[in-house]
Amino acid sequence: MTTPQYDRLKRLNERLNQWGGRPVPKAELLRLTSVSERTFKEDLALMREEFQAPIQYCRRTKGFYYASQFDLMASVALNDRDVQTLETAVAALAQFKDLPLFAELRGTVDKIESAVRFRVRPSPQAQRIQFESVPYFQNIELIEPLLHCIVQQQVVEFDYQKHDQAQAERYDLHPYLIKEYRNRWYVLGHCPKRHSLRIFGLDRIVANSLQSTGAFFDEPDFDASQYFAYTLGIAVYDQQPEEVVLSMTPGHGRFFKSQPFFAFQPDDILMDTPKEFRIRFPRISINKELVMELVRWGNQIRVVSPESLRQKVVEYLQRALNQYET
């Protein structure tokens, strides 16, 4: 909504309220807004559709009136802090509204977005907050049927092709959970074929192969929070979690504290000086996601212990270096 349009709607709202339910002549409203009849009709339509204004037309007097008590500004009775909070929430929701799973939210998000725009009056170009956009993800449409099968406890089957395999493999799965990690979606459940919990990337499920088998499974004894309690990412191994100690530069220590990649307690900070920041994770699974995260930090982080994790990071970095030496 542009600022001129906002000002017109505000004037229309004020005049309709001033007349206390009596019809305001159309000519008077046109004079008040100084726009063409077409634009005037568009403004009225916006008030009716976006803000549910009870505007009625009186044929006898050729005027418009509020059929019931209404105030456009009061319909969004928010203080500035409320508006800022809503702006942030709407911006976060808006990036997901086109995903199939959230299709039913689309209209609600649009309505809230319109109300917030009306209250704060920015132009469409005046973007004040920008989130990291959610990229296209292959097979995102599988979330909805999988979620349905999770709720109904229905067994599913699908063909699954790993990125490094030429042939797809057929799986049955008792789906328990849909999980997102770094803009990728996964389904986790009990796999009868492997007699264990397995996680599958939705992007590797062969197109049109997912279907319900018609069978049902019992309520699982599964707690997602507990299952991933000591895990970064989605790979949960059979090995027990270990204590990991990391050393960072002071600057990156501050960066880590502001946005840690894994939860920690204040007592876990072993050193925080102008020379070094050192932290320990009492229990964390050493998986590929942890190794990749440490590699991502480059020379700003060092694994103090355990030695097995040190070696994994060193080997990964060495393979990367070899790519540039050949």
**The CATH number of the domain where 167 resides is what?**
2.30.30
Task: Tell me which amino acid residue 33 is.
Answer: T
| Mean pLDDT score, 93-106 | 61
* Domain range enclosing 152: 140-219
More confident residue, 264 or 132: 264
Q: Examine the domain organization and report whether 147 and 84 are in the same domain.
A: no
pLDDT in tens, 244-254: 999 999 999 99
What was the pLDDT predicted at 184? Answer: 87
CA dihedral for 302, 308, 314, 320, sign (positive or negative): negative
Report the chain's terminal Cα–Cα distance, integer Å.
57
- Of the two residues 237 and 120, the one the predictor is more confident about is 237
Higher pLDDT, 323 or 97: 323
Is-cis flag, bond preceding 241, omega within 30? Answer: no
Confidence band for 69, pLDDT divided at 50, 70 and 90: confident
59 and 84 fall within a common domain = no
Q: Do the domain assignments include residue 131?
A: no
- Among 13-27, 65-79, 199-213, 248-262, the range scoring the smallest mean pLDDT is 65-79
The pLDDT confidence band at residue 1, using thresholds 50, 70 and 90, is low
Q: Residue 197 phi/psi, 5° resolution?
A: -75, 135
Mean pLDDT of 82-110: 63
Looking at the domain assignment, is residue 226 inside a domain?
no
**315 lies in a domain?**
yes
Partners of 64 in the β-ladder:
24, 57
pLDDT at residue 129 in the model: 58
| pLDDT for residue 178 | 92
Residue with more model confidence, 254 or 110:
254
Whole-number pLDDT of residue 144:
86
- Same-domain pairing of 15 and 65: yes
Domain contains 135: no
* Predicted confidence (pLDDT) per residue in 41-61, tens digit: 999 998 888 888 999 999 999
Q: For 81-89, which contacts have Cβ atoms below 8 Å and span 24 or more sequence positions? A: 83/116, 83/119, 83/120, 86/112, 86/116, 87/116, 87/120, 87/128, 87/129, 88/129
Q: Is the pTM of this model over 0.75?
A: no
> For the chain, how many structural domains are there in total?
4
Same-domain pairing of 45 and 103:
no
Tell whether 84 is covered by a domain: yes
- 122 has a pLDDT exceeding 70: no
Query: Does 230 fall in a domain?
Result: no
Domain stop point among 153, 188, 219: 219
Query: What are 214-265's pLDDT values in tens digits?
Result: 999 999 999 999 999 999 999 898 889 999 999 999 999 999 999 999 999 9
